[in-house]
Amino acid sequence: MDAKAYYGEGAGTRRKLLKMELDKKLKDPEYRKAFEKAVKKVDTAKSAKKAVRDRKVADVKSQTKRSVKMMAKTLTGTTTLAAAAIFYMHNKPAIDAFIQKTMSSR
């Protein structure tokens, strides 16, 4: 039941795979009877609520992961640029001389 109520990223694939597996098992009459009996006992509202909660948790994890990656990428880029700027400021005369020498030799 949770799979039916699941939605969001990857939900379609998950449902298809579970349905294929279930269809194979439902060919057995005894399994089908037990399955139908079990489905009648399921509280669909509770399952739907659980699916929504699980999706929210998955979304928060995914967004947090993306945010951390983006922040790390931004900080790494900024830090590298800032470090290069500081290095240049401290070594400006030597760097300028090197660049001039390299450009004039071409």
DSSP secondary structure letter of residue 77: H
- What are the CA-CA distances from residue 104 to residues 88, 91, 92, 96, 100 (Å)? 20, 20, 18, 12, 6
Q: For every one of its 106 residues, what pLDDT tens digit does the chain have, with 9 covering 90 and above?
A: 455 555 566 667 878 888 889 999 999 999 999 999 998 998 888 988 988 888 888 888 888 888 777 766 776 666 666 677 777 788 888 888 887 777 776 5
Q: What is the DSSP string of 7-54?
A: -STTHHHHHHHHHHHHHHHTTSHHHHHHHHHHHHH--HHHHHHHHHHH
- pTM check: above 0.85: no
Return the domain boundaries, the chain.
2-77
